[in-house]
Every structure is written in structure tokens, then in C-alpha cells.
Amino acid sequence: MRLDRPKEQIEQELLVQARDTWGAERVEALRHIIGDAAGWISLIGRYKLGIHEEEPDYLVAPEPNREAR
């Protein structure tokens, strides 16, 4: 999925995936939160981040207790 697209396009793609994954009967229940998720993705997806811009430590806590490892 390309992230740098309008919310509506991302939403349509997520709705198709929802139908394939959870079935047509769940799509209506999920429609509002899919709209939210499409909005989140679209809001942050427009930022272009270079691959050398920072160390990939974003999945580590701010101050890891390294001696515990």
C-alpha cells in the first residue's frame, strides 16, 4: 500500500482488505474505524523519510535496561 495518498483512496483499499480478511458482514461494522485508520495513515504518510536519517531505535524504549539482558 502506498502511504502518501488521500484518505479516501487508502480507505477504499482497506475496505477491500477488510472484506477479504473478515468477510462482507463485518465490513459495515468496521467502516467507521477504517475511515479513522485511513485518516491516520494519510496524515503521516505524506512525510518522506530518508533511509539514512536516523538509527532504527524507535522500537526500543527510551532508556532500555540493558544490563537486564
Partner 1 sequence: MMELIDLTACQAAERIRRREISPVELVEALLARIEAVEPIVQAWETVDREGALAAARKAEHSAGQSGTGPLHGVPLTAKDIFFTAGMRTTSGSPLFEDFVPDFDATSISGLRAAGAILMGKAVTVQFAHHDPPRTRNPWNRERTPGGSSSGSAATVAARMVPAALGTQTGGSVLRPASYCGVVGLKPTYGRVSRYGVTPNSWSLDNVGIIARSVEDTALLLQAVAGPDPRDVTASSVPTGSYLEAARRNGRAPRLGFVLDYLDRANPDVAANSREVAARLERMGAEIRDVHLPRPMEELTALRSLIATVELASVHAATFDANPDKYGPALRESVEVGRLIPAAAYIQAQRLRRRWRPEVESMLEGVDCLLMPTVNNTAPGPNTTGSSAFQAVWSVFGLPSITIPSGLSEERLPFGTQLVAPAFQEETLLSAAAWCEAALEPMPAPEVR
Residues that bind partner 1 (CB under 8 A): 1, 3, 14, 17-18, 21-22, 26, 29-30, 33-34, 36-37, 39-41, 43-45, 47, 49, 53-54, 57-59, 61-65, 67-69
The grid coordinates listed for 26 are 463485518
Task: Output the smallest distance, CB 67 to partner 1, in A.
Answer: 7
Please state, in angstroms and rounded to a whole number, the distance separating the CA atoms of residues 33 and 64: 33
Task: Output the smallest distance, CB 17 to partner 1, in A.
Answer: 5
Orientation of helix 7-22 relative to helix 24-45, angle to 10°: 150
